[in-house]
A and B are shown apart, each in its own frame.
Chain A
Amino acid sequence: MKFGRRAFLQIAAGAVGGSLLSPLPWQLAGDSARWSQNWSWRPSPERGEITKVPSICTMCEGGCGIQARLVNGNRAILVEGNPANPVTEGGICPLGAAGLQFLYAPYRISRPLKQTKGRGNISGFQPITWDEALAELGKKLAIVRGESKAHTVACITSGRQSSMDDLWQQLFSAYGSQNLFKMPTQADGLRSSALLTTGIASPYTFALENATHVLSFGSNLLEGAAAPGRAFAALRQWRQNGNVKLVQVESRCSLTASKADQWLAVEPGAEAAIALSIAHVMIAGNTYDADFVKNNVFGFEDWTDSTGKRRQGFKTLVSSPTYSPEEIAKKAKVDAAAIRALAKDFAAQKNAIAVWNLGHSDLAFNTYDELAFVALNVLKGNIKTGGLVNLTADIPLGALPAVEKDALAENAAQQKRLDLTRDKTAPVPQNGLYGFLDSLAHGSKYPIEVLMVHEANPAYSLMESRLFQAALDKIKMLVSFSSFMDETACLADLVLPNHTALERLDDVKGIPAASFSYYAVSSPILKPLGDTKNTGDAVLALAGKIGGTVASSVPWKTYEEFLKFRVKGLAETQKGAVADKAGIRLTSAEPVKPNFKDGDDLWKKLKAGACWYDAPAEMPSFKTASGKLELACQAIPVAAAADDHMFLPHLFTIKLAGGEQDFPLLLVAHSTGYLTSGYLANPPFMNKLIPDWTLKGNEEFVDVNPQTAQSLGLSQGQSASLRTTQGEATVRVNVTSAARPGVVFLPKGLGHKAYDEYIQNKGTNANSLMEVLLDPVSGMGTVWATRAQLRRV
């Protein structure tokens, strides 16, 4: 017998057959899959006890209830909506759900940094201790103040409403500077229009939950609105009940427009024209709330101003043929019959509301556009106690002690806010950030020694971003409190990193545009990971370093003590109640019975993730010259109103730079549900949601109508050069009927230069291409479009 090749093959064949009938290959196949779960480079949370910690999200102004899942109390593995929050009932937006990616982000700043080389040179940042950092800034602030130049210190803080606003305000009042600004939000527009019409500087609110017909002027409810959790909850309720009609008036078929019952595609900037034309039809057909208007409204009929001059009223103005659907249809490039139908619908519904400034842009409409939307609600009789439109009620938190002002503060306070020192200032000034930057960029009355930036990234997220760059050249020292190496932090001379949202004790003062009162404390879900400091604590420490009346005006040792003090004040009013379950009707007019004992009890409940709420407040009595709701806004000085219509909502467009010949198209920067464009950069989870027609590789797409694309010789996916009066970028073209002819749409949120490889150098920063216009009444920055051209490359 010879054991040859044949015998070997016979044994091998037997072995193959045998092993196929044994568990060996199948077990190995399964085990190799399970083995792959243990590869060391595969991220895997540690094992241990799983706990859930409720808190409140502070990544935007929405104040949504969240809960975090942790392993062993120190490794967060999930953030989800908190079902016990009565506003969001478990809902959460993609940004909130990706919260952990900011907590564990590689671009976090884990300790204070000092720039030792030139501004913007990343390699020049040297780590320093907190003692050194606070001593350096404290010394600088004390020296500047000692030289009677306190007014040359400025701060830009987040657009979010929190107790940090009050702390900054207290510090700046005691220090002696008025140059404290908030990043622009749409609440600015709602506040400014409320101030003009009611005399009260509290933003208008919308009882979305009680409406049956919603006429939305560019409000991107599904793209996040101003408070995503509440907007999603309202939409869910509308769709579940099935009896609410949503009409979207917008130039692009946004996600909201595509899910609305009706979309009216208008020219950019023509939204208010539609509103005025609807008013024209309602007045002509006598389908408005005549009783409400007669008893509560000033300026509907013709009126006499303070100098005795007879002035045109809203009715006379809007009844002119200029505002007829036929005329407006030409301007807005829509069908006149559609405007008439819209007006008929809106007038017929009992609970119809016109909403605006809910997620259209960070910037408000111009004043007269805002007033046009107010006018529609006036005609429906909505602006009253228990009505669909009201004013934001103050949260009765513990009042801060009176500021002690020494001679230095008194003297410095004589110096006007920088935006108000310009030759041509706004008659009813509001958020002056753009005016401030504009005066710095174009030769200001006095220089700025120190600019502090808190929870904001103006170098990226302000529209017309080059304005910030130009202003920065005139600022001697830039201090960033950012948690991340963002575009602004990169330019800073000193970085004092804040804890990230999930590590920080913070609070939420109200939900933007919500008719009910809301207050929540956001408690940290875990201990801070790096050597960072809550900016609240840093501000208190700085006040201590400056000393004197500045220190004594902020008597709290820690930010926690300050927040506790505020909550104690809230508890003492015995107003409102703690909500720790879903299903509470927050918009119900019925009085709320307090369910907390004292400050400690309320603090404990709020720290545990519950929120405080109160029923919609009564409409306060108007503080206008007439004591009524003013459609003819007498707050606008007679000297500033050359013509009658300057007091009234009317067709008003701020002229854009650039000629139609050079720039035949309009560029509109828009929000999406998958890109965030504010202080926080788009997290990796959300990057995964970006569709191929928005970003491919590093190239961003603009939406262009097929007709426009054809006339420009462009086809799907082609590269093009997009040039505006502000800048230039290379983009690709997405040919879609979602875009209006003649308009180019560019999503906001891409084009970062900072952060890490997952987000930087992808696409174009829309803000760098947009032109911001200063509103003639409020002085605020406003934007509706920018002149542009698109060329094949």
Chain B
Amino acid sequence: MNEKKSEASASKALGVVFFLAGFIGALVLGWVVFPNLLYSQKAQPMNFSHVAHADNDCESCHTFRPDGTYTGVPRLDKCKECHETAQGTTEAERILVEEYVEKNREPMWKNYAWQPDNVYFSHAPHKGQGLECIRCHRDVTKEEKLPAYRENLITGYSISTMKMTECEECHAQKGVSNNCEICHK
């Protein structure tokens, strides 16, 4: 009788161990392994030091149209205003001048914040509300080296692409409508 009892409790303990093994294994997979597998690291065309350009204010390169809409990542013409010839000896400077300025080729910057096509996003109403850039974008004031661009293998978008929950939370806090058609037109 006792033997039977201890066999049962040993089997129960073993069951817990198996369960925990599966549980912890899945947690490790989900929290540690999976995120590393999901994203691949992609190189930007060259490094860009925001600090080196800190004598300008943000909006002299990241320009907005009169209606408040954003004009996109600065294009080569903007770079050329100063970098028609090399301004220093860094590798990034060499790449910019030799590969892009001289060949008149647009650098294909990978965009850290690009939203999927099914989202309609305009900077105009957000900027109009007085939101600081860093509410959504990383603070680049002290950034000398561009962070690694990590691309989601399934979606092709950056790891830092903002998720819908973040949009919704902020809209809720500010009392802005969260109706579908506000963003999915």
Contacts and interface: CB of A to CB of B under 8 A. Distances in A.
Nearest to B70: A50
A11 B154 contact: no
B23 A14 contact: yes
Interface string A13-31: 1111111011110011011
A35 B25 contact: no
Nearest to B20: A14
Interface string B16-30: 001111111111011
A162 B167 CA distance: 49
A402 interface: no
Contacts of A50: 69, 71-72
Interface in B1-51: 14-15, 18-27, 29-31, 34-35, 38
A38 interface: yes
Q: Assign chain A's interface to a size class.
A: 20 to 34
Interface string B143-157: 000000000101111
A350 B34 CA distance: 78
A655 interface: no
Nearest to A43: B117
Nearest to B17: A10
A7 B13 CA distance: 11
B154 A6 contact: no
Given A1-B14, A34-B116, A37-B116, A49 B75 contact: yes
Nearest to A10: B18
A34 B22 contact: no
A18 B25 contact: yes
A12 interface: yes
A104 B30 CA distance: 46
Interface in B123-174: 152, 154-157, 161, 163-164
A295 interface: no
A19 B18 contact: no
Among A16, A37, A42, A49, chain B packs the most CB atoms within 10 A around the CB of: A37
Nearest to A9: B18
A22 B27 contact: yes
B26 A16 contact: yes
B131 to A, nearest CB: 21
Interface residues of B, number: 33
Interface in A484-501: none
Contacts of B161: 34
A19 B19 contact: no
Contacts of B21: 11, 14
Nearest to A44: B117
A19 B29 contact: yes
B8 to A, nearest CB: 13
A45 B117 CA distance: 9
Interface in B90-125: 116-118
Contacts of B155: 31, 34-35, 37-38
A241 interface: no
Contact of B34 (A6, A13, A15, A22): A22
A13 B22 contact: yes
A30 B116 CA distance: 12
B154 A32 contact: yes
A12 B152 CA distance: 27
B30 A23 contact: yes
Contacts of A27: 34-35, 38
Contacts of B18: 7, 10-11, 14
A6 B157 contact: no
A18 B116 contact: no
Contact of A18 (B26, B38, B71, B156): B26
Contacts of A45: 117
B34 to A, nearest CB: 5
Interface string B50-90: 00000000000000000001011001000000000000000
A30 B165 CA distance: 11
A643 B24 CA distance: 104
A35 B21 CA distance: 32
Contact of A14 (B22, B38, B154, B156): B22
A587 B152 CA distance: 59
A13 B18 CA distance: 9
Given A38-B155, A50-B72, A10 B29 contact: no
Contacts of A49: 71-72, 75
Contacts of A17: 19, 22-23, 26
Contacts of A42: 117
A50 B161 CA distance: 20
A143 B21 CA distance: 95
Interface in A275-333: none
B30 A13 contact: no
Contacts of A21: 27, 30
B7 to A, nearest CB: 12
Contacts of B116: 34, 37
Contacts of B118: 37
A297 B55 CA distance: 77
Given A7-B18, A34-B157, A15 B117 contact: no
Contacts of A30: 163-164
B154 A31 contact: yes
Contacts of B75: 49
Interface in A566-607: none
A19 B30 contact: yes
A13 B21 CA distance: 10
A13 B26 CA distance: 10
Contact of A19 (B15, B26, B35): B26
B154 A15 contact: no
Contacts of B14: 1, 7
A692 to B, nearest CB: 22
A14 B25 contact: yes
Contacts of A37: 116-118, 155
Given A14-B20, A17-B26, A21-B27, 12 more contacts: A6-B15, A10-B18, A11-B22, A11-B25, A13-B22, A14-B26, A18-B24, A22-B27, A23-B34, A30-B164, A34-B116, A37-B155
12 contacts: A11-B21, A14-B24, A14-B25, A16-B26, A18-B27, A19-B27, A19-B30, A27-B38, A34-B152, A37-B117, A37-B118, A38-B155
Interface of B: 14-15, 18-27, 29-31, 34-35, 38, 69, 71-72, 75, 116-118, 152, 154-157, 161, 163-164
Q: Which 8 A-B pairs have the closest CB atoms?
A: A22-B30, A14-B22, A18-B26, A14-B23, A11-B22, A10-B18, A24-B30, A15-B22
